[in-house]
Amino acid sequence: MLLGCIGDDFTGSSDLGNTLVKAGMRVVQYSGTPKTPAAPDVEAGIVALKSRSIPVDQAVKLSLEALDWLKAQGCRQFLFKYCSTFDSTPEGNIGPVAEALADALGADRVIFCPAFPAAGRTIYQGHLFVGDRLLNESGMENHPLTPMTDPDLRRWLSRQTRHMVGHIPAATVWQGAEAIRALLDDESAKGRPFVIADAIRDQDLVALGRAVADLPLLTGGSGIALGLPQNFRDQGLLAADRTGWQGQAGKAAVLSGSCSRATRGQVAHHIDGGSPALELDPEAVLSGVTTPQDAAAWALMQNGLPLVYSSADPERVREVQSRHGTETVAARLEDFFAETARLLVAGGTTRLITAGGETSGAVVEGLAVAQLEIGPEIDPGVPAVRVAGDLVLALKSGNFGSDDFFAKAAARLEGTAE
Ligand SMILES: Nc1ncnc2c1ncn2[C@@H]1O[C@H](COP(=O)(O)OP(=O)(O)O)[C@@H](O)[C@H]1O
Ligand SMILES: O=C(O)[C@@H](O)C(=O)COP(=O)(O)O
């Protein structure tokens, strides 16, 4: 294994896998830190954690365990993958996890770059944009778990770390790898080992990737990995042949616990198109009036692509959170989706589409899926993935995917869409 990656959620990890596979690496995504060694032909290993929204000390512990395992697999470089919208709170977990990894690796120059231009996430003057809106006006300010209320990543990261935070402006990035390296050295010498890097185009990310070829640790969204495979290829370290993707026939279903804007659009599109949909009322889930057995039985009876969703607008999310507590609602809904997924698979479902990072993590953990083989892209940032046996999944990040994503993913998982 050459590149060792630690993802702070499951959809984000498959997003990273998608980038690396497209650039020609053999990638396996692991659910948590494996207990056994990786297969010898894996070139990039991604340990997917569900560490984005857990207490800081636990996130650090899990990340360090993942690092130890990746080191033992012989990795030469390490990548900490977080969300392209920098999902975190003023306490963490991006800063503290990066600090722990940097300390463990002796890294004194660490890039932070969540940019993902293909999905509309760009960074300029240290500020993160989603499309043409600043992060705090993009809908992310209403995220149920990690509301992003400050678009200045230098300021936001500073709140999460003891380090001073530096900056690599676009003007330097455009000068290329050498200029980037020089500024990184300079920032580090001035006591700013953590730097936010601007990037507004894929080629900026490639330049950043080139610049950090010799550094032990980098951090960012999936975009920061764009240039890394070429670094390994240049050293003659990548195998040339690739195995093809096989689609999977059988029943399909969609589970959506994402309340993000893009997902809500996809849910509306699905319903408007006349496809079967079952809305979960969180109150009914919390009180046990609606059970996973009800949801799975309903889905298994449907013709067409069934959708079970709790996705709701910010006002309704806030209402139920204020009544029962954010963590309780999240945990109960995630457990509900995990159990529903288990019942769906037991009932013969072979193609499962999940929307939402936390939701997808709960489902994958609930299904006790140990590892995922990354397949072809469905939409930017979302690949089809195969579990051993006859189960295939699409783990969709909340804000990714076109309006018709659910139907598109079902077709791609079946191998019937180009
Ligand atoms: N109607 C709802 N009210 C409150 N919380 C919800 C509702 N539906 C889902 N949630 C919770 O909100 C969180 C959404 O996070 P996630 O699944 O990561 O989606 P995204 O990828 O859009 O961020 C989950 O913990 C989920 O259980
Ligand atoms: O970088 C991204 O935007 C995604 O890969 C990701 O991490 C999204 O997380 P969720 O929105 O929680 O699915």
pLDDT digits (tens, 9 = 90+) for 100-156: 999 999 999 999 999 999 999 999 999 999 999 999 999 999 998 999 999 999 999
User: 190, 198 in Cβ contact below 8 A?
Assistant: no
Q: Locate all alpha helices (DSSP H) within 126-260, ordered by sequence.
A: 153-158, 170-173, 177-189, 202-211, 228-234
For 281, the 3-state DSSP assignment is coil
Token couple for 411: 């077709």
Q: What beta strand segments (E) does 13-82 contain?
A: 27-31, 44-48, 77-81
pLDDT digits (tens, 9 = 90+) for 4-41: 999 999 999 999 999 999 999 999 999 999 999 999 99
Q: Determine the distance separating the centroid of ligand 2 and the alpha carbon of 113, expressed in angstroms.
A: 14
Question: Beta-carbon neighbour count of residue 287 at 10 Å?
Answer: 10
Give the C-alpha separation, 209 to 111, whole Å: 10
Give the C-alpha separation, 93 to 88, whole Å: 6
**In this predicted structure, what is the pLDDT of residue 166?**
98
Ligand 1: residue whose CA is nearest its atom 11: 330
Asked whether residue 418 carries a pLDDT value surpassing 60, the answer given is no
Q: Mean pLDDT across the stretch 231-251? A: 88
Token couple for 376: 């072809």
Q: Which atom of ligand 2 is nearest to the CA of 14?
A: 5
User: Helix 326-346 crosses helix 292-301 at what angle (to 10 degrees)?
Assistant: 40
**In this predicted structure, what is the pLDDT of residue 240?**
76
Q: Determine the distance separating the centroid of ligand 1 and the alpha carbon of 255, expressed in angstroms.
A: 11
Give the C-alpha separation, 40 to 205, whole Å: 29
Burial class (CB in 10 A: 0-12, 13-18, 19+), 94: buried
pLDDT digits (tens, 9 = 90+) for 47-103: 999 999 999 999 999 999 999 999 999 999 999 999 999 999 999 999 999 999 999
Q: Determine the distance separating the centroid of ligand 1 and the alpha carbon of 276, expressed in angstroms.
A: 21
Ligand 2: residue whose CA is nearest its atom 6: 12
Ligand 2 pocket member 9 (CB < 6 A)? yes
Burial class (CB in 10 A: 0-12, 13-18, 19+), 265: middle
Q: What beta strand segments (E) does 49-94 contain?
A: 77-81
- The ipTM is 0.97
Q: Determine the distance separating the centroid of ligand 2 and the alpha carbon of 194, expressed in angstroms.
A: 22
**In this predicted structure, what is the pLDDT of residue 52?**
95
- For the chain, what is the mean pLDDT? 96
Measure CA 100 to chain center. Answer: 20
13, 83, 123: residue to mutate for ligand 2 pocket, most atoms within 8 A of CB: 83
Share of the chain above pLDDT 90, in %: 95
Q: Whole-structure pTM over 0.80, yes or no?
A: yes
Give the C-alpha separation, 51 to 82, whole Å: 10
Q: Mean pLDDT across the stretch 216-240? A: 95
Amino acid type, 112? F
Residue 242's pLDDT band, with cuts at 50, 70 and 90, is: low
Residue 211's pLDDT band, with cuts at 50, 70 and 90, is: very high
Q: Determine the distance separating the centroid of ligand 2 and the alpha carbon of 178, expressed in angstroms.
A: 30
Q: For 75-89, 155-169, 230-244, 301-315, which range has the lowest pLDDT when averaged over its residues? A: 230-244
